[in-house]
Structure 1
Amino acid sequence: MPSQDPPYLRIADHLRRRVTAGEWAVGERLPSRARLAESYGVGPNVLQRAQEVLIGEGLLEGRTGSGTYVREPVDRLPMLRSRTAGAFPAALVPNGSWECDSYGRTPAPAHVARRLRIELGALTMHTRYEFTADGLVVQLADSWEPMDLTENTPAQLPEYGPHHGRGVTARMDSIGVRVVRAVERLRPARASAEQAALLPGVSAGDPVTLLERTYLDDTGRPVETADLVIPDSRWEICYELPVEVPE
C-alpha cells in the first residue's frame, strides 16, 4: 500500500537514509536543491520542507549563500523546565555562564506591552543575555520589566547591584513583590541573521524554539517577560510538572 505521508516527509525519510548510510560525508555539501528536487520529481518548495525536517533533527545544516551540508553530530541536551528552573540549566553544561547588558527606560514594543499589560511605549528595563557553555554562546534571551515597578530600587538592574544573579523571583521579593507563577508559551521560529551571527553552528533560517515566559505576582500583574531563543539542534525542552498525590 502506498505511503500516506506527505511527499516532503517521504523525501525526508529517504534523504535521512542516504545521509546515515554515508552517501555524503560529515561536512560535505549536498547537491543543489533544484537538482535534488528534479531527482525526486517534486518542486523546490517540497524539497526545502524535507531538508528543513532534517535540519530540525540536527542531521543537516543550511549555510546562507552556500547550500545545505551534513552537520557534525551534536548531542541534544535536555533543558528541564520546572517551578525551580531558571532561564538556563547551567548545571547540565560544563562551564555554563552568561553575559548581559541592560538598557533602562526602553519604550515597550507592542508585543512586550501586550504581555506586560502596559501602554505601548511605556518605559521598561530591557536586558539582553548571551548564555555560554565552554566559551560558546548556546542560547539567547531578551527580558523586559516595567520601569515603574523597579525604578530607584535595589532591584532596578537585574544582574548588577546587591541582587546580582538571584533571579526574578528573589529580586522582586526584595522590594515586596511576590511572584507566584510563570506562564510559558513555546512556538517554532527561524534564526534571524543577527541570532545566527551570535550562535555558533546556527545559520540564518535554522529552526529554533522561541520560549515566551512571563512572571506574574500574587495580584495577577505581569512583572517580567522574556523571549528565550533556543536552538533546536542543541536542546530538547522537557517539562517537570507537579502531580497532586491523593491523601
Structure 2
Amino acid sequence: MREQPPYLRIADLLRQRIAEQVWMPGDRLPSRAQLGLEFEVGDNVIRRAQELLISQGALEGRAGSGTYVAEPRERFRMVRSHYREQVGGSPFQADMTALGRRATWESQTEAKVPAPVGVAARLGIAEGEPCVRTTYEYFADGKPVQLATSWEPYELTAGTLVVLPEGGPYAGKGVVDRMTEIGVTVTHSTERPEPGQADAGEATLLGVQRGALVTRIERTYYSDEGRAVETADIVVPAAACEIVYEVAVEGR
C-alpha cells in the first residue's frame, strides 16, 4: 500500500486540532514556518495542506494577514426532484421558497452560439449548430449559491415568444413551462453529478477560494418524443449547499 502523501497527513493533523477546538473559528493559525518546524516538514507541504482545507471550507486565507479557521457556514439544501419540476416555474425558486429564502438571479443570453462538441452530443445535434446560450448567477438572500450555463437548440424556439429564456412574456418561467407554450411536452430529465473544484472565474462569482470543492451537475431535459430540448451545466459550492435527490415511489 502506498504511503499517504505528507500534505494529506498534515491536513489531517490540522483538521484534528480544529475538531478538538485547539483552534477556534476566527483564530489565526501559526505561520507556515512555525508549523513546518513543529511537524518537521517543508513550507510547501504546509501550504498544500492549508490549500486543501481552504478548498474544503475548514480554513480561509486572508491576503496579507494569514490563514484562519473558517466560521461555520449554514448549508442550503437543494432538492433535485421530479415534483419540483411539475409545480411550474423555476426549480431554484421552489427550493428557496421551501427554505424561506429570497431567490433572485441574473442572466445573460446570446442567440445563435455554435454548439461545442460536448453540448451538441447531449442535444443530439451537429457540432456548430446554432444554440441559445444563457448564463445564470443564482442568489439566496443576496448571496451567490449556484451558477449555470444553459443551451437550447435555436431552431426549436426561433421565431417564438420563448426564444429568450429570460426575456419576453415567459421570462423566468423555467424550461418545462416555456416549452409547453410552444407545444413541446417535457416529460423527464437526466442529471449527472460529479465533484470538482472551482476555477478562477467560478470562484470569483461564487465568493469562494479558487480550487474550492463544488458539485457539477450535467442536466438535460427531454420531450415526450425523446428529443433533448435543453442541457445545462450547473455548479454548486459544496461548502454552501448540499444536493439532495428526491425520488418518487410508485404505489401498487
Whether TM-score is above 0.5 comes out as: yes
| Paired residue secondary structure (1:84) | helix
* Cα distance change of structure 1 residues 73 and 123 upon mapping to structure 2, 3 Å threshold: same
Question: Any unmatched runs of 5+ in structure 1?
Answer: none
| CA RMSD, 1 decimal | 2.8
Are the aligned partners of 1:116 and 1:224 in contact in 2 as well (CA < 8 Å)? Answer: yes
Q: How many residues align?
A: 242
- Superposed CA deviations along residues 137-178 of structure 1, whole A, max 9, x for unmatched, are 221111110001001111101122121222101111111111
Q: How does 1:96-245 map to 2 (within 5 A)?
A: 96-200=103-207, 202-245=208-251
Identity across the alignment (%): 50
Matched, 1:84 2:94: no
- Between the aligned partners of 2:108 and 2:81, the Cα distance in structure 1 is 26
Q: Please report the TM-score for the alignment, with normalisation by the length of structure 2.
A: 0.82
- Superposed CA deviations along residues 58-109 of structure 1, whole A, max 9, x for unmatched, are 3223568986432121011211110033245221252221111111111112
Q: Please report the TM-score for the alignment, with normalisation by the length of structure 1.
A: 0.84
Give the aligned partner of residue 69 of structure 1. 68
Moved more, 222-231 or 191-200: 191-200
Question: Any unmatched runs of 5+ in structure 2?
Answer: 85-90
- Superposed CA deviations along residues 173-202 of structure 1, whole A, max 9, x for unmatched, are 1111111111001111111111111122x0
* Cα distance change of structure 1 residues 112 and 39 upon mapping to structure 2, 3 Å threshold: farther
Letter in 1 for 2:166: E
* Cα distance change of structure 1 residues 46 and 224 upon mapping to structure 2, 3 Å threshold: farther
Letter in 1 for 2:175: V
* Cα distance change of structure 1 residues 68 and 108 upon mapping to structure 2, 3 Å threshold: farther
Q: How does 1:10-25 map to 2 (within 5 A)?
A: 11-25=10-24
* Cα distance change of structure 1 residues 34 and 137 upon mapping to structure 2, 3 Å threshold: same
